[in-house]
Structures are given as structure tokens and as C-alpha cells.
């Protein structure tokens, strides 16, 4: 196998998706470099994931940090250009749909370095989401596109991506879940957060829910009402913290506001939850595999298999309480079929394709 691969990660979901790919490429004897852009930088948004998921320490942390969409992307472009020139990889690997993903893809393309995209082809068809812009552009630039679910193949074909670039490999985020599932201890997590036996978990961080004051009011009202049915643990992403707090979320009886949790603590709470309310991409997938009912406070999802093959349902704030009541009134939730290939082996499938590609192109 010839040539070095360079992974670019920057945010919490990137770490969860990259861990099994890095591990599988390490097992295959691949020369790897791990670059952290520093888009997420708090201990609880970054370092804790490296420790818990067995990710190697990044070879570089570019320390880019926060900013407006344009400023953050511009800083990422500049920092990544220097890094990619210095490291001279045969292939750059990017994950998901965050600004670090787009910036790395653009820099690689301009430097003529081939690109692999893990989690290619997901589409919400909502261009108001920064992630949808990022996904569409990255998929145009990638030479190896790793899809987590079958509908991605149709989306990419319609956008003109040649079929031989697309590889349906399953979901590396689920590899991580299945690797660590024995460490998820709901009873311990519940006790350490003083939660009753029956509780729900809430995460909210999408701009559409937490940046717009009207949307924040609607979400806080719905969650306050939901907390009359069941206690809600709310590990808050820094993005929503101020706005949701100012709208009175922390004052509602039954709402337990928490700092962002490490992966094992978070998944422990999710595993034991009677229901999850979220706008996260990853959490829709994780609840599907854990068979925990999930209510997604969004009008669209780029992960429709979590609805058709899983536990997910999209709800408006006004629909939240009746939907939650229905879940709580149902005594058993039979296991769902689960999406194809979400079996814990996506990392090795990706590694096989990459090592084969390196043999021919590296
Ligand atoms: C980013 C991704 C989003 C993903 C989310 C995962 C983009 C466009 N968005 O959103 O798709 O779902 O990560 O969590 O890339 N902040 C901190 N500490 C940190 C990181 C962020 O306090 O360690 C605060 C800062 O005030 C910052 C805000 O959170 O301005 C938003 O961070 P940013 O990385 O720009 O976007 P996210 O909302 O985290
Ligand atoms: N997560 C975590 N602690 C938390 C919230 C989330 O460990 O307090 C994990 C969880 O595995 C989730 C992943 O981080 O799937 C990504 O979360 P996030 O919702 O931030 O990003 P998205 O998937 O929406 O891009």
C-alpha cells in the first residue's frame, strides 16, 4: 500500500464517525495523519471523545475555533491549506457535513489531492441548513463516496456522481455505538444525575431551533409541557445554552439542564430513556439502533431510514406533547428492522476500499 491518508475532524460528530475508520486503517497498517481543526475545543466537546473512543491524539490541532459561517470557513481554509501542503497526503478523508468537512474538501480539491467523504449522499433538501450546503458541495468534490444508507445512492446519481465512486458501507457512527455498548450504564447515569426511573433525554442545537427567538419560545413551551409528563435530562450544546436559558427552560419543573456529556455518559442516558427528543443527526441514528423512541423537532430529516426502518418521528413543537404521551402510554416498543448494514462493520468496509484504492493510486 502506498501513500499516507490524512483525516480531518473538527466537531463532536466527526470524532464519533472517525474513530472506527482510524482503527480499521490502523489495523490494515496504513500510514495515517489525524488533523483536528479545533472547530470544537471545549474539553466536553472535544478531548473527552478522544479519550473515551480510543482515538489517537491529533497530529495537529489547528485551533480554528468559533466564528460566523464565513469567518470560520475562511479560517479553516487558510489553516488547512498549510497543513495539507506540509503533510502531502495521497488521500484526504472527511466526515459528515460540518464546516470543517467542507473546508477540507475545498482545500484538497484546489491542491489536487483526492478526497474521500464518509457519510456521503444524505440530503434534507433544505438549503437553509448550513449542513445541506456543505454536504452537496463535498460530494461534488469527492472521489470516494461512502454512503450509510441506500437512498444516498439515488441522491448522488441524480447529482451526476458516477456510480463507481459510490460505496454503500453502513454507518461508522453505529460501529462506535456497538463497540462501546457494554459500557453504557443507564442506572449509573440516572443516579449520577438524580433522575427518576422513567425519564426522557433532550438535545437541541440546530440554528433553526435555537438561534431564532420565536422558535426558541415554541421549543421551550413544548418542552415545559412535555416535562409535566416525564422528567427530562437536557445536556445542552453550548450553541443553545444562552437562548434556551433566557427563554426559561431551566426554570421549568422536571427539566434537568446538564453540561454537554461525554460519549459514554450520554449514550448511557439515551439507552435507559423512555423517549428522546432531539434535533441532532447522530442521535436519530443512535436511538434507532438502541430501539429508543425518538421525536425529532425538525420539519425535515436527511436520515429518513431512521423513520422508515427505525424509531424516529418528525414533530412540530405543537405535536410534541401528544406524540410523547403516545410513546409513554405504549408498554412495549418491538424492535425495528434497522437500516441495512448498520452492523458494526462499516469501518473495516471503508478501510478495505481505501487500501485497495491506495494500491492503485497512492
Ligand atoms: C456544528 C455543525 C453542526 C453539528 C454540530 C455538532 C457546522 C456548520 N455546524 O454546529 O452541523 O451538528 O457542530 O455538535 O459546522 N462553542 C463552544 N465550545 C465549543 C464549540 C462551540 O462554546 O467547543 C459555541 C461557540 O459559541 C460557537 C457555537 O458554539 O459559536 C457554535 O459552534 P460551531 O462549531 O460554529 O457550530 P455548532 O453549532 O457547534
Ligand atoms: N453526544 C455526546 N454528548 C452529548 C450530546 C451528543 O456524546 O451531550 C454525541 C452523540 O453520540 C451524538 C454525537 O455526539 O450522536 C453528535 O452530536 P451532535 O448532536 O452534536 O451532532 P449532529 O449529529 O447533530 O451533527
In this prediction the pTM is 0.98
What CATH number was assigned to the domain covering residues 185-329?
3.40.50.2000
Reduced to 3 states (helix: H, G, I; strand: E, B; else coil), residue 336 is coil
User: Distance (Å, rounded) from C-alpha 327 to C-alpha 221?
Assistant: 19
Task: Dig out the grid coordinates for 264 from the structure.
Answer: 459514554
User: Distance (Å, rounded) from C-alpha 166 to C-alpha 143?
Assistant: 9
Say yes or no: CB of residue 269 within 6 Å of ligand 2. no
**Are 204 and 244 a contacting pair, CB within 8 Å?**
yes
**Alpha helices per DSSP H over the chain:** 12-27, 47-53, 69-87, 99-111, 130-141, 151-158, 172-180, 186-192, 207-210, 213-226, 238-246, 263-271, 281-290, 305-308, 320-329, 346-361
**Domain 4-171+342-361, architecture per CATH:** 3-Layer(aba) Sandwich (3.40)
Say yes or no: CB of residue 280 within 6 Å of ligand 2. yes
- Domain 4-171+342-361 shares a fold with domain 185-329: yes
Taking only the tens place, the pLDDT of each residue in 148-171 is 999 999 999 999 999 999 999 999
Q: Nearest C-alpha to atom 27 of ligand 1 is from which residue?
A: 66
Say yes or no: CB of residue 16 within 6 Å of ligand 2. yes
Q: Could you say which ligand is closest to the alpha carbon of residue 11?
A: 1
Taking only the tens place, the pLDDT of each residue in 290-324 is 999 999 999 999 999 999 999 999 999 999 999 99
How far apart are the two ends of the chain, measured CA to CA in Å? 7
Say yes or no: CB of residue 239 within 6 Å of ligand 1. yes
Which of 266, 279, 297, 298 for mutating ligand 2's site (highest number of atoms within 8 Å of CB)? Answer: 266
**Are 115 and 108 a contacting pair, CB within 8 Å?**
yes
Domain coordinates of the chain in residue numbers?
Answer: 4-171+342-361, 185-329
CA atoms within 13 A on the CB side of 53: 30
Say yes or no: CB of residue 12 within 6 Å of ligand 1. yes
Q: What is the pLDDT of residue 362?
A: 75
User: Distance (Å, rounded) from C-alpha 305 to C-alpha 248?
Assistant: 34
Q: Could you say which ligand is closest to the alpha carbon of residue 45?
A: 1
- Ligand 1 atom at minimal distance to the Cα of residue 72: 35
CB-based burial label for 158 (10 Å; 0-12, 13-18, 19+): exposed
Q: What is the pLDDT of residue 335?
A: 84
User: Distance (Å, rounded) from C-alpha 348 to C-alpha 169?
Assistant: 9
List of the chain residues with pLDDT < 50: none
Amino acid at each position: 500500500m502506498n501513500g499516507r491518508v490524512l483525516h480531518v475532524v473538527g466537531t463532536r460528530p466527526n470524532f464519533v464517525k472517525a474513530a472506527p475508520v482510524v482503527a480499521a486503517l490502523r489495523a490494515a497498517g496504513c500510514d495515517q495523519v489525524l488533523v483536528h481543526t479545533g472547530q470544537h475545543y471545549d474539553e466536553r466537546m472535544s478531548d473527552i471523545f478522544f479519550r473515551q473512543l480510543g482515538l489517537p491524539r491529533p497530529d495537529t490541532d489547528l485551533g480554528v475555533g468559533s466564528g460566523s459561517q464565513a469567518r470560520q470557513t475562511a479560517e479553516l481554509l487558510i489553516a488547512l491549506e498549510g497543513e495539507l501542503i506540509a503533510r502531502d497526503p495521497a488521500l484526504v478523508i472527511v466526515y459528515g457535513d460540518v464546516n470543517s468537512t467542507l473546508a477540507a474538501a475545498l482545500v484538497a480539491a484546489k491542491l489536487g489531492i483526492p478526497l474521500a467523504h464518509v457519510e456521503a449522499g444524505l440530503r434534507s433538501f433544505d438549503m437553509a441548513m448550513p449542513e445541506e450546503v456543505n454536504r452537496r458541495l463535498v460530494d461534488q468534490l469527492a472521489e470516494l463516496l461512502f454512503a450509510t444508507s441506500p437512498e444516498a445512492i439515488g441522491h448522488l446519481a441524480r447529482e451526476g456522481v458516477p456510480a463507481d465512486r459510490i460505496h454503500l458501507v453502513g454507518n461508522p457512527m453505529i460501529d462506535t455505538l456497538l463497540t462501546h455498548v457494554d459500557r453504557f450504564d443507564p442506572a449509573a447515569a440516572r443516579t449520577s444525575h438524580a433522575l427518576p426511573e422513567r425519564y426522557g433525554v433532550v438535545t437541541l442545537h440546530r440554528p433553526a431551533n435555537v438561534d431564532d427567538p420565536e422558535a426558541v419560545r415554541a421549543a421551550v413551551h413544548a418542552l415545559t409541557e412535555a416535562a409535566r409528563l416525564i422528567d427530562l435530562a437536557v445536556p445542552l450544546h453550548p450553541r443553545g445554552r444562552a437562548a434556551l436559558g433566557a427563554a426559561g427552560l431551566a426554570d421549568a419543573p422536571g427539566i434537568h439542564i446538564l453540561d454537554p456529556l461525554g460519549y459514554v455518559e450520554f449514550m448511557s442516558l439515551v439507552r435507559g430513556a423512555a423517549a428522546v427528543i432531539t434535533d441532532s443527526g447522530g442521535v436519530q441514528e443512535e436511538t434507532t439502533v438502541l430501539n429508543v423512541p425518538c421525536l425529532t423537532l425538525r420539519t425535515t430529516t436527511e436520515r429518513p431510514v431512521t423513520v422508515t426502518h427505525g424509531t424516529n418521528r418528525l414533530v412540530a413543537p405543537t405535536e410534541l406533547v401528544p406524540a410523547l404521551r403516545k410513546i409513554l402510554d405504549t408498554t412495549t416498543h418491538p424492535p425495528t428492522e434497522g437500516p441495512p448494514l448498520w452492523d458494526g462493520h462499516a469501518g473495516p468496509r471503508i478501510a478495505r476500499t481505501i487500501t485497495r484504492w491506495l494500491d492503485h493510486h497512492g
